[in-house]
Structure 1
Amino acid sequence: MSQLVINSYEEFEKYVGQELGVSDYLKITQEQINQFADATFDHQWIHVDVEKAKAESPFHTTIAHGYLNLSILPYLWGQIIQVNNVKMLVNYGIEKLRFNQPVLVDSDVRIRAKLVSLINLRGIAKAEIKVSLEIKDCKKTALDATVIFLYHFK
């Protein structure tokens, strides 16, 4: 799918209530999980101890941190949309976040995004986007949330 290009608030507004797109798949590797564990000081064995996870985990493998899954949303969001004529983009918040299903190591994930609302706050566009992190070949999503971005248009 090609990337959606938005050049103004008015163009963005036309997509309220619509699905904006789906990102490419991204493989979640053990190396990424280990690096995230190092960055966040979260070395729980379910994430980083491959042998123990094989033997003791109900998943028989390691799983990605929930917050690792959350942290890749901006990267995947950037594959769906390009917003031009913006001075600055700010992560404003996350609402209704639910971790529904663990992401096993070496799983492929992608996001599906829908523009729920767009509000003009004196020249700043407050965009609420419903995102679902999908796991390839899995019916249940890894996470669902409404992410809120502030786009400061020029």
Structure 2
Amino acid sequence: MTQRPGVSAVDYMAQVGKDIGVSGWIEVTQAMIDSFAKTTFDEQFIHVDPARAKADSPFGGTIAHGFLTLALLSRMAVEALPRIDGLTMSVNYGFDKVRFLSPVPSGARIRGRFRLMEAEERTSGEVTLHHQVSVEIEGADRPALAALWLTRIYFD
């Protein structure tokens, strides 16, 4: 996993309305799903029991938790978004909208596509970024997830 080269904060903020980047593919394994299920205490059969999920769900097998897909945005962002020169800290500020549009089957590969929608300078050295994010499922017509993700960055 590699992060893209650095850009100045001014150059990054000038990219409003443009596609910023696409991450590499991430395989969502059953082991990842099982680990997430244990961590979050969401061990519903559609996530952790392949035989029952195949027999008793409309998905044909186990699927990832929507929140696992959402959590993987952090990894996707590291790959897809350029490093901002002089950045001292970046924090999640929240989501204005999140929709889980399609299930992610165990073994599927997903990737994130990022578009900068707004860069709101709050004070000198503090900017709130609004990224439209889509998580694509390899070979699928519909994305797994669509969101408007807000992050706050601090820089010199």
Which structure 1 segments of 5+ residues have no match?
none
The whole-number CA distance in structure 1 between the counterparts of 2:53 and 2:13 is 47
Superposition map of 1:43-122 within 5 A: 43-81=43-81, 82-122=83-123
Give the superposed CA RMSD: 1.3
Residue 55 of structure 1: how far off its partner (Å):
1.2
- Would you say how many aligned residue pairs link Structure 1 and Structure 2? 153
Is 1:152 aligned to residue 139 of structure 2? no
The whole-number CA distance in structure 2 between the counterparts of 1:117 and 1:3 is 22
The whole-number CA distance in structure 1 between the counterparts of 2:110 and 2:12 is 26
The whole-number CA distance in structure 2 between the counterparts of 1:104 and 1:5 is 33
The whole-number CA distance in structure 2 between the counterparts of 1:14 and 1:121 is 16
Is 1:35 aligned to residue 35 of structure 2? yes
Which structure 2 segments of 5+ residues have no match?
none
Any conservation in 2 of the 1:6–1:12 contact (CA below 8 Å)? no
TM-score by length of 1: 0.95
Any conservation in 2 of the 1:109–1:136 contact (CA below 8 Å)? yes
Any conservation in 1 of the 2:136–2:142 contact (CA below 8 Å)? yes
Secondary structure of 2:89's aligned partner: strand
